[in-house]
Amino acid sequence: MRFHSPQKLKTIADLIGSAWVGPEDFEVLGTNEIHMVKPGDIVFVNHPKYYDKALNSAATIILIDKEVECPPGKALLVSDDPFRDFNKINTHFTRIYNFTEELHDVEIGEGTKIHSSAVIGNNVKIGKNTLIFPNVVIGDRTVIGDHVIIQSNTVLGGDAFYYRKVNGNFDRLISVGNVIIENNVEIGNGCTIDRGVTDSTVIGEGSVLDNQIQIGHDTVIGKKCLIASQVGIAGCCIIGDEVTLWGQVGIASGNKIEAGSVILGKTGVNRDLEKGTYIGMFAEDFKTYLKKEVKLRNLK
C-alpha cells in the first residue's frame, strides 16, 4: 500500500506510539507484506527466525519487536506488537468500509452492463463493455478493465486469509490492498479472488477462469492463462503468462510457475517450477512420471 503522500519516520512512530531508529525525517512511502516489499515500504517482523529476511529485504523501514542493529540506509520502528501496529498503520491510511456505507466514487465505462443484484463497494473502477452477472460482489478499490465477463456469484476483493494465533484465538491481518482484473478476462461462476493484504491481486489480460476457483491475496496471474474448475492458489504466488492449470490443482503460498507451463489435474505445487508439464502430489515432470510408472508396472 502506498500512502497518498510521503510520511516521516517520526510521524509513523507517533501514530503507533513506538520508538524508532534512524533520522526522524526518514521518508516512508507505504507498507507491504514481506513477499511484496519495495524501497520506501514498512515491513513488519515479530519473530527472531525472520529478522534477517526482513532486515535484508527491499523494505527500508522495519517494524520490529526488538531493537537490533539497523542496516545502512534503513530505519527501524520498535514496537511491542508489530502485527497490531502494522494493522494500525494500514487502517489509518486506508479506511475499511466492508459494505457498511453507501456506494461512492464508482467509475463505470461506456457499454458496461451490471445486473441489478450485483453489489459494488467503494472506490471501484469498471471499464468499457464489461458484463457483470447476477449476485456478483465487487469489493472496495477493485479495478476491472474493458471487455471483461464476470459470471454469477463470483466475489472479487474478499479479505485475505492471513492470521496469527494469540491466546488461543485467531487475529486477522487486515487487508488494505485490492484486486485488479485486466482487459478481456473471463471469470466463471462462484469464483473467489481475495484482495491483496497491502498490494494487488492481479488477473492478467486475456486470462480465462472456469467456475469455483479460489485465488489468494497478492497473487499475480499472467496474461492468457487458462484455469480450470476447483483450482486453489494460495497467497503471493506468481503465475507466468500462458500457464494452464487443470482441475483441482493446488498451489502453496509464495511459489512461482514459469510462463508456458502446464499443470495437470490434481497436481500439488509446493515449490517454484520452471517451464514444463507437471503431474502428481509434488508436481513431478510429466515424462519422468510416465517413465517411473512404466518401471513400476514392469516389476516382477
Closest listed residue to residue 133, CA positions, set 111, 147, 154, 157: 154
Closest listed residue to residue 259, CA positions, set 277, 275, 271, 237: 275
Largest CA distance in the chain: 74
Count of CB atoms situated within 10 Å of the CB of 207: 24
The answer to whether residues 206 and 151 touch, using CB atoms and an 8 Å cutoff, is: no
Q: Look at strands 155-158 and 137-138 and give their pairing.
A: parallel
Return the SS3 of 39: coil
Query: What is the C-alpha to C-alpha distance for residues 248 and 232, in angstroms, rounded to an integer?
Result: 7
Q: List the strands of the sheet with 214-215, edge to edge.
A: 119-120, 137-138, 155-158, 192-194, 214-215, 232-233, 250-251, 268-269
Tell me the β-bridge partners of 35. Answer: none
DSSP 135: T
Annotated catalytic residues are: 217
Tell me the β-bridge partners of 263. Answer: 245, 278
Spatial neighbors of 143 by CB under 8 A, at least 6 apart, are 124, 125, 178, 179, 180, 181
Q: Look at strands 27-31 and 19-21 and give their pairing.
A: unpaired
User: Residue 14's Cα: distance from chain center in Å?
Assistant: 29
Torsion angles phi and psi, residue 92, rounded to 5: -70, -40
